[in-house]
Structure 1
């Protein structure tokens, strides 16, 4: 009998505490993260070195470079965009293969598409050749 009474008191206290306790949510503090992986960081440095007068945008969407009615294509993210001195897009540099429709959209808009392999990044002259820079 005493055990049953003790269990009833414990249950009442538990449910009262559960009802009145504030929900404690573990919130992690914001932390800076690296938006580019190692291969992207290396290619970014090479692009900057080879094209010092160009602007290099990291991880732009196709919509930032090309006007298109196809929202599914325009929302795709690229590795890098190369812009001329006048901030006009010249081309894109990618490490991963593009969807053929995305590549067609970019090339039809007049942009150059330069594909590079993470393990075999190009030298400065190869990058300049890929984007038509002297």
Structure 2
């Protein structure tokens, strides 16, 4: 588990081309399957929480990059508003998509469906964080 968290942390401190691949939901579930069912759920809860922290950090970094962007103030303001809007819409998409992903568990018990949802949340949070980091990476600062 620590290896995946460390890999995700490195993604945002190194150039994206050199970064290790983002953990996918299947890989997260496989890693956590080393534990009992309760431990597996706890592991996935931890990954979802860790990915939320990574996403929050990427959002803050993107906002800070926009604040330093050497561009006309009206474009900076517009970009900041759109960043906030895209963040809200991402959360709506993530929740809807992960509900769909969990539904693919069919008649599995609720805990198994929740573990599928948690793995999906973690993967999408990590992906969104990478997208934000990449989006502002080349902005010229003032």
Q: Report the TM-score when normalising by structure 2.
A: 0.25
Q: Which has the larger radius of gyration?
A: 1
Higher strand share: 1
Whose RCO is larger (CA < 8 A, sep 6+)?
2
